[in-house]
């Protein structure tokens, strides 16, 4: 399997090269040259498969022989060390819970898979890799956990000052070891731009071996397709045979893009709904065909506070940049904080389900779609545990959340971070790390 840059398709790389580089030299996102369909017998028998069997089968073509089969199986086994349960809400709605991992966010899978791939590649060429990651909330904690103690790696996490929850900040600033946190005076888009700028900075080349752990990296992005296979497996076991629609809370659009990859691999998904908060660049685009990103706005669903989602270009590429073809499979709706809190209350009062703000946005988008498409069975993704947004959830629902064991051990820790403003200061910081 080769990967090409979406900026210049003559700029190609192997899986290992794409993972280590993060971005192509022309600053384009890497994209697989093909999406091979899985054998029909595999999908027919998916109810009998283990999670590891599914993970190896799905990821094998994308790894493209750069990792031996035995090692790939170990990487997948280490990655999928927790469950992904489907929880029924009513007769035609369920949620897929993706928060049962070590940092209680869906990004645990991609972060763990990528960290272990880089760990393997470093064994073959032991040159220290500096991993840059911009986070609007959950990515930083998942990457910190996934890469903690991985030989030959140093992780630098950039996050916007005052725009992540207290627990999220603790998860990315209290690790020590090979994990460092940088608090940026700005918004997520500023953090993301600083990471991208570092990759093309000639002064940094040769001094640092940079890669990115955001969903721009293929090893972070592609494993997220596994969620949709795990959901489908459970629906097969439950005997659900209606058309499937997935509503995905969307910020940088990597998760929903991975779902579309799952569909291309052969998974029978009828429709995708990209549910966003007030950062509504994609919903506006689907109404106007005019892609006009706005500066990101702060909301209570902060992991989706992205004004210019990087992965949307990958979604467009999956549909050959055909707007009409995209709209057949893909809808997108935006909701504000008031609507999000009302959805949290509805889920709790009507269905006895405690969601987080991102899941609540996903629920809203799904209800919008199902109102006009009652022949579908709908699934909304719960991408983070409610405890990560404790103040909002407890205040909205009038209850006290139990603190999971994954969170308890960090609550008394003190954040360790470096505060910076602007790319020049960040560049100086990186150069200081190269000494």
DSSP designation for 357: H
Look up the pTM and report it.
0.90
CA dist., res. 259 & res. 264, Å (int): 9
The pLDDT of residue 409 is 84
Structure confidence by residue, pLDDT tens digits, 369-427: 999 999 999 999 999 999 989 999 999 999 999 999 888 888 889 999 999 999 999 99
Q: What are the residues facing 377 on neighbouring strands? A: 244
- Any idea which fold 85-106+221-402 has? Rossmann fold (3.40.50)
- How is the beta sheet containing 153-160 ordered, strand by strand? 210-212, 129-134, 153-160, 179-184, 418-420
d(CA 105, CA 108): 6
**Which one, of 125, 164, 171, lies nearest residue 146 by Cα?**
171
Residue 127 has pLDDT above 80, yes or no: no
Count of beta carbons in the 10 Å neighbourhood of residue 409: 10
Residue with tokens 């032991």: 126
Mean model confidence pLDDT for the chain: 93
Cβ neighbors of 335 (< 8 A, separation 6 or more) are 275, 276, 277, 278, 343, 361, 364, 365
**Strand pairing category for 210-212 and 243-249:** unpaired
Three-state SS at 283: helix
pLDDT for res 435: 58
- Tell me the pLDDT tens digit for each residue of 244-299: 999 999 999 999 999 999 999 999 999 999 999 999 999 999 999 999 999 889 99
For the chain, give every domain's residue range: 85-106+221-402
pLDDT tens string 197-211: 998 888 998 888 888
H or E stretch at 281: helix 281-288
CA distance 169 to 141: 8
Confidence of residue 23 (pLDDT cuts 50, 70, 90): confident
For residues 296 and 204, what is the distance between their CA atoms, to the nearest angstrom? Answer: 28
- Counting other chains too, the contacts that 67-74 makes at CB distance below 8 Å and 24 or more residues apart are 67/15, 67/16, 67/117, 67/120, 71/120, 74/116
């Amino acid at each position: 399997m080769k990967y090409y840059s979406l900026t210049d398709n003559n700029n190609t790389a192997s899986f290992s090269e794409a993972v280590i580089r993060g971005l192509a030299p022309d600053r384009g996102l890497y994209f697989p040259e093909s999406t091979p369909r899985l054998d029909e017998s595999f999908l027919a028998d998916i109810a009998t498969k283990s999670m590891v069997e599914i993970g190896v089968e799905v990821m094998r073509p994308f790894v493209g022989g750069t990792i031996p089969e035995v090692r790939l199986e170990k990487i997948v086994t280490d990655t999928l060390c927790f469950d992904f349960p489907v929880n029924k809400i009513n007769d035609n709605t369920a949620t897929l819970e993706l928060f049962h991992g070590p940092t209680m966010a869906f990004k645990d899978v991609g972060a763990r898979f990528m960290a272990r791939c880089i760990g393997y590649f470093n064994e073959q060429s032991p040159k220290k890799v500096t991993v840059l990651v911009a986070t609007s909330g959950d990515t930083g904690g998942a990457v910190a956990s996934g890469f903690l103690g991985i030989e030959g790696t140093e992780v630098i996490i950039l996050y916007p000052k005052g725009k992540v929850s207290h627990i999220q900040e603790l998860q990315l600033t209290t690790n020590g070891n090979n994990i460092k946190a940088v608090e940026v005076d700005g918004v997520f888009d500023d953090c993301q731009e600083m990471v991208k700028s570092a990759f093309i900075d000639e002064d940094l080349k040769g001094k640092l071996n940079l890669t990115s752990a955001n969903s721009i990296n293929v090893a972070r992005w592609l494993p997220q397709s596994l969620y949709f296979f795990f959901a489908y497996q459970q629906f097969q076991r439950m005997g659900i045979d209606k058309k499937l629609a997935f509503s995905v809370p969307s910020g940088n659009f990597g998760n929903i893009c991975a779902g579309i990859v799952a569909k291309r691999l052969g998974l029978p998904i009828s429709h995708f709904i990209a549910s966003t908060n007030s950062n509504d660049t994609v919903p506006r685009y689907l109404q106007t065909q005019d892609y006009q990103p706005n500066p990101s706005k702060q909301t209570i669903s902060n992991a989706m506070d992205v004004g210019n989602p990087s992965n949307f270009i990958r979604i467009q590429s999956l549909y050959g940049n055909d707007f009409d073809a995209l709209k057949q499979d893909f809808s997108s709706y935006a909701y504000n904080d008031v609507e999000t809190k009302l959805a949290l209350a509805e889920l709790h009062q009507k269905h006895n389900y405690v969601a987080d703000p991102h899941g609540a946005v996903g629920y809203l988008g799904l209800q919008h779609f199902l109102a006009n498409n009652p022949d579908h069975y709908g699934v909304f993704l719960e991408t983070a545990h409610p405890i990560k947004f404790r103040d909002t959830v407890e205040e909205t629902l009038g209850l006290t959340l139990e603190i999971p064991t994954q969170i308890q051990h960090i609550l008394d820790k003190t954040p360790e971070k470096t505060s910076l403003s602007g790319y020049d200061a960040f560049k100086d910081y990186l150069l200081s790390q190269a000494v």
